Every structure is written in C-alpha cells, then in structure tokens.
Structure 1
Amino acid sequence: MTTNCGTTFRSIVLFSVTIITALSCSKKINTLSESDPWKRIELTIKNIPQTKFQDKIYNINDFGAIADGKTLNTSAFEKAIKACAENGGGKVLVPNGKYLTGAIHLESNVNLHLDDNAEILFSLNPKDYPIVHTSWEGTEVMNYSPLIYAKNKTNVAVTGKGILNGQADSTNWWIWSGGKNYGWKKGIPSQNDPANRDVLVEMAEKGIPVSERVFGDGRYLRPNFIEFFECNTVLVKDITVINSPFWILHPIKTNNIIIDGVTVNSHGPNNDGCDPEYSQNVIIKNCTFNTGDDCIAIKSGRDAEGRRVAIPSKNIIVQNCKMIDGHGGVVIGSEVSAGVNNVFVENCKMDSPNLDRAIRIKTNSKRGGVIENVFVRNLEVGTVKECVLLVTMFYNVYGAQTGNFIPTVRNISLENITVKNGGKYSVWAEGYKESPVENITLKNVKIEKVDSVYLLKNIKNIHFVNTYINGEKADQNIK
C-alpha cells in the first residue's frame, strides 16, 4: 500500500511538473510570437503534417477511361479512386490526354495526379454533379457537388502539372450569376431570382438545418471547383485551373493544407482564386492568381451561420505568390462572422491595371467578426486601381448590409513595400465611432504615385514609419 501511494504521489508530482513545463514553453512561444509575430510562421510550418502516399499507381485508363475529350469518364475516375482507397491508398494517375468527367469525389490516402499534358474537362451538364453537403458564399447548403470534392477525408491530394478545365463561360455556368457582362439577359433565370440565393440566406438566419436546405436543380447556385470539406492534411500542388463556375480552391473547416505552385486563370463571376473558410494552418505559396474576383479571400462564414459555427480562420500564410487581375490581391472577407486572425503575407508580387487593391479587409455590421493580426512584408506592387490597403466596416453587396454586429478590426502591419502606382489612396480605412479600426502601421513603405495619401474615418492609431508617398516622407502618427 505504501509503495502504491508513493508511486501515485511521484506520478502526481511528475504530471504537475510536466504541465508546468508545458505551460512555461507555451508562454515562451506566445512571448516570442508577440515580440516578433513572424516567428509564428516558423511554428505553423513546422507543425503542419505532410501528406504521404503508398507507392502504388492506379491508372484511370485501366478502369475504362478514354482520352478523347468526349466520352464521359465519371465511372472510370470513381472506380480508380475506390480501388486505390480500398488497397491502402496511392496515386490515381491521369495520363496525358483529354478526359471528360462529371464530379470527382476523393477518398483518404488518395493522390489524384495529372501528367504534364493531361487535361480534365468537366461536364457542363448540372446533372453530372450530385447533391452534396457543400457551401455557397459562406452558407452551408445541399447543392451541386463541387467539381472535385472531398468530405471528412485525411491525407488527400491533387497534384501534377496538368490542367483542370471547368469549361465555364458566358453560355453556361457564368450566365447563372445574373451578370450582364456574363451573358445574362432579362428573362433568363439566375441566382438572383427570389427563390434562390436570398432564400438560402434566410434559411440560415432562421437556423434551418443544412439537411433541409436542398437546392440544386432550378436554383442556379453554381458549384465550387475544388472543395475540401472537414478534411485534414491536404496538398494541392503544381496544377493549373481554368474556367471555373464559381470559387476555385475552397478549403472549408479544413486544417493543415498546403497549396503550392498552383496557377489559377479564370475570369468569371465570383471566380475567387482561393477561399480558406473556417480553416486553420493554411500555406499558400508559389502560386499565380489571375482571376475575375479576389485572388485570395480568407473567410469564416456569413452572418448567423458563421456565428453558429464559430470557427475562426487562422494561421494563414501566403508566400511568394503572384497576383495579376482581381478585385484584391489578399483579401479578408466579406463572410467573416466567425473571425480571422494571424494572417501572414510575404514576398509577393501584385501588378495589373485590373487589380483593384493589394490588401483588402471587408466586413459590415451584418457580418461582424473580429479580424486581427494581419502582417504583410516584402511586397512588390506595380499598379493597383484603387488603393494599396483598404479596410472597411461598411462593405455592401446585393443591397444594404447593416445589422447589430459591429465588427472589430485591429493590428495591421505593412512593412518593406514598394508601389509604383497606388491608384486613389495609399490607405483607405473606415470604422465605426464605437469600434474604430485600430493599430495600422506602414513601415519602410515607398509609394511612388498615388492620388491621395489616405482616406480615414474612425481610426485609432495609424503610424507611418520611414514611409515615402509621392516623394515625400509621411512619418507621422494619427491617434
């Protein structure tokens, strides 16, 4: 009895020491991160698990695929992926050639790999995309399957230097947007019809279960291109994605994802390049975005839906990327009701007369949310149309967007930035009197040409340190 009590006592002491040590280490890491927030990048990268696959190849041609660009190969993809998963995983190979298919649903431990001259053409028939649990503009819904979809999977990838072609244009998917620039004319049904998008938003506001939010045929809500839903340990590498119906890369409720060397070239409506939503530990690196909407848009749910889910997007790292056309280079919002924090952007190039802003944060009093700790450094900006940094709490789309959920936006840093043509403003920031935008710092920033230095409304603490705008030093603090 004495021995057991002594052992128990020693175990308790050891456990206590372990907990104290862990707390001490955690405190040290947090202190490091606070003194130098960029240290958090090293910690995040170190802790993200890497995908690993068995050295087995499942060639889709062996499962009946035909590379003529006309034969529907949905069944061949399904069989190859199933065989791969049932045998412990590996590589599902898409050899050189053009393969038409409907939705591709991935499984755990499967790497969908495209040869260099392989192209997957996705069907334009909505019936080739079964109804699944997905999301549309920050609201969960039963809708058309994304073109490539994984739900509740672990260790999954899409790789290779081939092309994923959604085939969308103004004669098919894009016309559903209701945009006149995309082929829509009065009398053509679209997402804007009363029974479609607005009904979905109302259902979410009322808390109607997702299983009862059944859309699809006749509702005209376009599918996402590549969606990882509630997945873990994901890799998307080297592929080129073109002509998407809607959002392009959409990790939702997904942790530990690396997007590396991807090229996105798609100028349709709502063609965001990458939209991490409710996701954590995300690395987007070495990518090129040339889009019809935001190049990268970090999100966390729309309005009541986001507040119910309550999973912030955090630890988002963007490195060595190139942004061409788009509404913004790196954007946070507008669906950010669960909040976004710890965003790091470094060593990127942004340049196009059709790129509206470099860094953009957008929310409103319907969205709410806490957006904080956004760090940007070593940015090379050629031309942007509107401004270098835009922060607004009054973002309106589809009409007035006001409510009782005043956002919080704070701690934004831009360092070592060069800009040739900044458009209308170097900084355009506007908050509420009761919730001002807090703590903006521009350090070692050089903007050669811009119409106005800034447009500010309800801002608390903006600092210009060793910053030159239109050839003049702008060192000053505005409290």
Structure 2
Amino acid sequence: MKYKVFFRIFAAFSILAGLQFVSCKAGKDSATAWKQADKIINDIVVPQFPDKTFNVKDFGASGDGVTNNSEAFKKAIAECNVAGGGMVLVPAGKYLTGPIHLKSNVNFHLSEGAEILFTRDKKAYLPMVHTSYEGVELMNYSPLIYAYGQKNIAVTGKGVFNGQADNENWWNWVGKDEYGFKEEMPKQTDEQNLPRLRKMNEDGLPVEERTFGEGYNLRPTFFEPFDCENVLVQGVTFTNAPFWVLHPIKSNNVTVDGVTVRSHGPNNDGCDPEYSTNVHIKNCLFDTGDDCIAIKSGRNNDGRRVAIPSQNIIVENCEMKDGHGGVVMGSEISAGVRNVFVRNCRMDSPNLDRAIRIKTNTLRGGFVENVYVKNVQVGQVKEAVLKINTHYGIYANQEGEFIPTIKNIYLEDVQVENGGEYGILIKGREQSPVENVNFTNVTIKSTETPLSVENCEPIKFVNTTINGQKY
C-alpha cells in the first residue's frame, strides 16, 4: 500500500513537472505557443449526434408564445436521450418555457425563426440545482439552460434564446436605479444574499448547505454546462440574460461557434469559462453589459478548494463591441488561469472599456500565465489596450494574504486606432511584480497616456509605436 501511495505522489509530481516545463517553454517562444494553440484545437472533441430527429411539436409543444412548453421540451429531451441521442428540433415560432435541462447525446436545435421565451415566473426555476454565483458554488435557481454531469450535448441553430430579463424581471435585484431598482425592493447586496454567500465561502460550508433560491435574490446564469464533457454551442443568439450568459464550469472540450450575444443587463458577461479546460470560442459576436469574455477559476476560498485552473482557451475570429473588456481574466481567479490564446479578433466600441484585461487582488490570489494575443484590430476603447491590475476591488476590504502572480503576456501584430486613456496600464505588487510582458509589432495610433506601469519587470518592445513614438 505504501508503495502505491508513493507511486501516486511521484506520478503527480512528474505530471506537474511536465506541465511546468511546457509552461516555461510556451512562455519563451511565441511560435511554439501558437503551434500549441493549434494542437489544442485539433484535440478538442466536438460532439456528434445520431441522425435522429425528435420534433418538439410531436410532444405537444406549441409555438404560439403563450403555451408553456416545459413538459413538452422535457419529454422530447428525455426520449432523445433514451433512444441514444439525436436532434431535438424546435421549428419556427415563439415558445414559452421554464428552464431547459439537457441530457447526454442531445442536440437542442432551434430552426430559423424559432424563439425561446423563458418564463418570468421565478418559481419555474425551482427546485434548486447545484450552480455557482460569481465564483462561489451554491444551491440556487436553475440556470435557464442547464446540464449537470452530461456528455455530448449541444445547443445549435439559427434561432433566439430570449431570457426575458429586464428592469422588472431579474435585473432590478442588482440594486441599481438604472435597472429598475426602487428603495423598497430587495437586492442582491442585502445581508441574506451576497454577504451570506460570501460568509459561507469563508467558513467552508458544504455546497449542499448553501441554499438560496426562493426568498433570496441571486440571479441565475443563462446557459450553464456544469461538469460536462464535449459541449457545442453553435449559431444561436442569446439576449436579455438575467446574469452571466454562457458559463461552462468544470467542463472539458467546449466549442462556442458563431454565437451572437446581445445582452446589456447587469453582469451580462458574454462567455465565462470557469474551472474549464480545452475551450474554443470562435466566429462570435459579443455586445454585452459586462465583459465580453471573462475567464474565471473560483472566488477566494472556493477557488482554492476546487483547485482546477482554467486552461487551454482559444478565442479567434470574434468581434467585441460594448463591454467592460474584450478578453478578460478574473476577477474570480483563485485557482489560476494558463494558456490563453486570442487571435484574429476585432474589438471596437466607444462603450468597450479595455481590449485585454487581467484583474485580481490578494483575496483572490491565483495566477495568470501564458497569454498570447495576435492579429487583433482595436478601433476604440475607453480606458486601456492592456490593463493588468492586482489591486482590483469594487467592494471594501479587498486585501488578503494571497499574493497573485502574473507572467508571460504577449501582444503581437496588434493595431489600435484609439487606445483611450492608456495604451498600457499595469499595477502589480511590490512582493510579486508582473513578469515578462511583451509587445511585438504593436501600433497604438492615439492614446492619452502611453504607459502607466507600477511593479512590473521592464516591458519588452519590438517594433512597437505608441502615439507615433517608437519603444
């Protein structure tokens, strides 16, 4: 028995050593890194489905916009799953429903002209399920589209998923006037809501005891594959989301292809991979009320408990319009992020705050390493082309004992028309300066302040021009 334990420990250290070798190698050689990105893409398993169709109308569904189709969708998905898989087809029409729970080997397909209207009745999103809120696991309202522990699932087609969130439904819980909040209303920052969840996180309370749902005010995510393998989201549009839009958590082999996200509510992040590996986001449009893409890995103690970094994430051929950031890492990042590749994207809006952003603090801790950005066109951003902040905080008391590390950041062949306030804005820590930031063939035509850098190794510039000056 002792020998088995020793072997397992030795094997674990060997794997970690190998990962570290790959990490260091990737951090030194951009060409090697992009070959690594291509290999990751080639290795991602995109689900395939049997050629069988289950039309929801055969299960009693009605596209009249009034009939509740929850049971019809549930029956179609269950029969498809039992039959070994295939396509659950939603023809053109407007379909009112409660949450949709996907099962293995099911492709939920919206025909062109099909719109799913998620009910405004919050009781429909009960019973509670195992989900997550801002990087902390809990039992809460079901996500609008949910899968737990499933394999080979897809949401495809040319139709629209409409969460029907607005200033009278879900959004006012954020507690801000612009989202319909009135003084007498409950809000997510009330003591029984977020503060209670934060305390449960700090105390390490088991997830099954972190119960919220009815009587509380924490909004559900839109599409959440939780602990799933081989996930495809293709072609569809998401709008009017209660909270984060696409949230693959603890999932492996995730492809998001040709998806449109137009949703300007509070915390309406476009796509937030969390604790996830091998994620390919391509050919998408993000026009959001928060970060377009935000890579996560748990908040504070929860991230350290789960200890699964988000890694091997490729974003390419995407367009980012409104949002707090184009591609962002953080702030819920306590388990770390590595191997992020962004190429052939366009980011442009007077309401886009930053192009590339990394945000954490000493409560989150965590690490970010090996971030590669290539062939990106930036029309206009408000604050910065690259922002790295290890002092991030929108709440009080954001200082702790977990010093973050950030290293190996590469921007190459990036063209910027208007970089906003800062070209490069970096705020590291004296105890742990930001390491190995590289700009190669970068042009920022206009920005108010080219560089604002604290606690960072000297940035390496090759053929880079900011405001007409070579660096």
TM-score, normalized by length of structure 2?
Answer: 0.94
Secondary structure of 1:41's counterpart equals helix
Q: Are positions 1:124 and 2:120 aligned together?
A: yes
* Separation (CA, whole Å) in 2 of partners of 1:321 and 1:405: 34
Deviations 1:229-284 (A, max 9, x none): 00000100000000000000000000001000000000000000000000000000
**Offset of residue 32 of structure 1:** 7.3
After superposition, the Cα gap between the structure-2 partners of 1:90 and 1:387, relative to the gap in structure 1 and judged at 3 Å, is: same
**Offset of residue 30 of structure 1:** 7.7
Secondary structure of 2:458's counterpart equals strand
* Separation (CA, whole Å) in 2 of partners of 1:387 and 1:185: 34
Contact 2:23 2:370 in 1 (8 A): no
* Separation (CA, whole Å) in 2 of partners of 1:447 and 1:438: 22
AA at the equivalent of 1:53: F
Q: Are positions 1:48 and 2:44 aligned together?
A: yes
Paired position in structure 1 for 2:246: 249
* Separation (CA, whole Å) in 1 of partners of 2:71 and 2:21: 53
Q: Are positions 1:396 and 2:393 aligned together?
A: yes
Contact 1:283 1:317 in 2 (8 A): yes
Secondary structure of 1:76's counterpart equals helix
Deviations 1:147-188 (A, max 9, x none): 000000000000001000001111111001111210112121
* Separation (CA, whole Å) in 2 of partners of 1:201 and 1:30: 33
Gaps of 5+ in 1: 1-21, 475-479
Paired position in structure 2 for 1:68: 64
Contact 2:175 2:189 in 1 (8 A): yes
Gaps of 5+ in 2: 1-14
**Offset of residue 399 of structure 1:** 2.3
Paired position in structure 2 for 1:144: 141
Paired position in structure 1 for 2:10: none
* Separation (CA, whole Å) in 1 of partners of 2:299 and 2:205: 15
AA at the equivalent of 2:256: I
Secondary structure of 2:33's counterpart equals coil
How do residues 432-471 of structure 1 correspond to structure 2 at under 5 angstroms? 432-471=429-468
How do residues 248-327 of structure 1 correspond to structure 2 at under 5 angstroms? 248-327=245-324
Deviations 1:418-465 (A, max 9, x none): 111000111100111110111111111111110011111111131121
Paired position in structure 2 for 1:331: 328
After superposition, the Cα gap between the structure-2 partners of 1:145 and 1:388, relative to the gap in structure 1 and judged at 3 Å, is: same
Paired position in structure 2 for 1:82: 78
Secondary structure of 1:218's counterpart equals coil
After superposition, the Cα gap between the structure-2 partners of 1:299 and 1:263, relative to the gap in structure 1 and judged at 3 Å, is: same
Structure of higher RCO (CA pairs closer than 8 Å, 6+ residues apart): 2
Paired position in structure 1 for 2:3: none
Paired position in structure 2 for 1:9: none
* Separation (CA, whole Å) in 1 of partners of 2:49 and 2:307: 33
AA at the equivalent of 2:283: N
Paired position in structure 1 for 2:170: 173
Paired position in structure 2 for 1:365: 362
Q: Are positions 1:427 and 2:424 aligned together?
A: yes
Contact 1:301 1:336 in 2 (8 A): yes
After superposition, the Cα gap between the structure-2 partners of 1:403 and 1:32, relative to the gap in structure 1 and judged at 3 Å, is: closer
Contact 1:32 1:39 in 2 (8 A): no
Q: Are positions 1:57 and 2:53 aligned together?
A: yes
* Separation (CA, whole Å) in 2 of partners of 1:183 and 1:189: 12
Q: Are positions 1:350 and 2:347 aligned together?
A: yes
* Separation (CA, whole Å) in 2 of partners of 1:448 and 1:238: 35
TM-score, normalized by length of structure 1?
Answer: 0.92
Secondary structure of 2:190's counterpart equals coil
Correspondence for 2:130 among 114, 117, 133: 133
Higher Rg of the two aligned structures: 1
* Separation (CA, whole Å) in 2 of partners of 1:186 and 1:227: 32
**Offset of residue 372 of structure 1:** 0.6
Q: Are positions 1:102 and 2:98 aligned together?
A: yes
**Offset of residue 39 of structure 1:** 1.1
* Separation (CA, whole Å) in 1 of partners of 2:242 and 2:200: 24
Paired position in structure 2 for 1:37: 33
* Separation (CA, whole Å) in 1 of partners of 2:24 and 2:357: 28
* Separation (CA, whole Å) in 1 of partners of 2:360 and 2:162: 32
* Separation (CA, whole Å) in 1 of partners of 2:235 and 2:308: 29
Paired position in structure 2 for 1:195: 192
Which is worse superposed, 178-187 or 375-384? 178-187
Query: What is the CA RMSD across the aligned residues, in angstroms?
Result: 1.5
Contact 1:94 1:115 in 2 (8 A): yes
After superposition, the Cα gap between the structure-2 partners of 1:29 and 1:389, relative to the gap in structure 1 and judged at 3 Å, is: closer
Which is worse superposed, 46-55 or 92-101? 46-55
Secondary structure of 1:252's counterpart equals coil
Secondary structure of 2:123's counterpart equals helix
AA at the equivalent of 2:298: G
